[in-house]
Each structure stands twice: as C-alpha cells, then as structure tokens.
Amino acid sequence: MDQIQVEIAALKSQIQVLLQERTALTINNVIDENDSPLALVEAYRRQARENPQLSAELKGIDDAVAALELQLQQKQAQLARWEIESKQLTQQQQLEEAKQVAQVHAQRINQLAAELATEIRLLKACADRLSPMYWQAYYKPFITGFKTISVPYVRSDGEVWTIVNRIV
C-alpha cells in the first residue's frame, strides 16, 4: 500500500513538472485574452507553423501527461481496490473472531441445556414415585407440565445458527 502511494505521489509530481514546463513553453505575448475565439485559434495555428519544433515538444508533453494521468488513474484504482480488500479482510477477521466467541457461548448453552434436561428427568422420576402417595394425601398432582418442558439448544448448518427448544 505504501509503495502504491509513493508511486502515485511520484506520478503526480511528474505530471506537475510537465504541466509547468508546458506553461513556460506556451507563454505567448502575441495572444491577447480579449481576442475573439477565431483570433485565438489563428494565433495558435500561426505559432505552430512558425515554430514546428515547439509544437512537437508541446505535443510530446501533452502525450506524456496523458500517459502519466492514465497510469495515475490505474494506480489510484489499484489503491482503492487494495483498501477495499484490506477492509474486507479486516471485517472477515472480525467476523471469524465473533463467531468463535459465539461458538463458546453456544457450547455453554448446549452444555447447560443437557444438564438441565438431566435434572428435569431426575425430577420427573422423583415426581413419578411421589405422585401416587401425593394423590392419596392431598387429592391433587405433585408436579404437572412435564409433557411441555423444553430446554434451548443451539445448532448450526455451517452458516446459520438456530436456537431451538427441545422437549425433555
């Protein structure tokens, strides 16, 4: 990235030098700013006919400036692409780190869900043993709702994570 920025600065500097050189070569006291457009055109043509070497040099400078500006645009586009790619890489790295943190939490949720499911099953077994005696003593159930007890569980298809409720 630094190398591209150095190259861009060098191209801009070279273009500036050429434009200054062109300006110095084209200073013409014969041409008046108040002249009509036709007079300006004629003055430039006359100058080109009278001094073909100067015209060739100006043409060469113009061509060099055009070529350097094309290189400058290419380097700037390359720099912009690199910045976008590095930003995406950074975002990708952040995404991967966040996914790893989420993975730790999902594993902990699944571990707690498994422990909770075990505790619910143990409670249900206890309730199954106590319920007949509880009915005889109090004429009502000891614990209800075991058919609808669920615990959260995190699963993933690789791209999308889903939290589901598993019936215990």
- One domain, residues 91 and 42: yes
DSSP string covering 148-161: G-EEEEEEESSS-E
- One domain, residues 92 and 134: no
Residue 25 domain flag: yes
- One domain, residues 8 and 57: yes
Tens of pLDDT along the chain (168 residues) come to 788 889 999 999 999 999 998 888 876 555 666 778 888 788 778 877 888 888 888 889 999 999 999 999 999 999 888 888 888 878 888 888 888 999 999 999 999 999 999 999 999 999 999 999 999 999 988 888 888 888 999 988 878 889 998 888
- One domain, residues 47 and 112: no
For the full predicted model, state whether its pTM sits above 0.75.
no
Instruction: Check residue 24 and give its pLDDT.
Output: 82
Instruction: Check residue 84 and give its pLDDT.
Output: 85
Number of domains in the chain: 2
- One domain, residues 141 and 60: no
Q: Which two tokens stand for residue 138?
A: 């109090």
- The rounded distance, in Å, linking the Cα atoms of 48 and 121 is 100
Instruction: Check residue 47 and give its pLDDT.
Output: 76
- One domain, residues 29 and 76: yes
Instruction: Check residue 53 and give its pLDDT.
Output: 85
- One domain, residues 114 and 90: no
- One domain, residues 69 and 130: no
Residue 101 domain flag: no
The boundaries of the domain holding residue 12 are 2-96
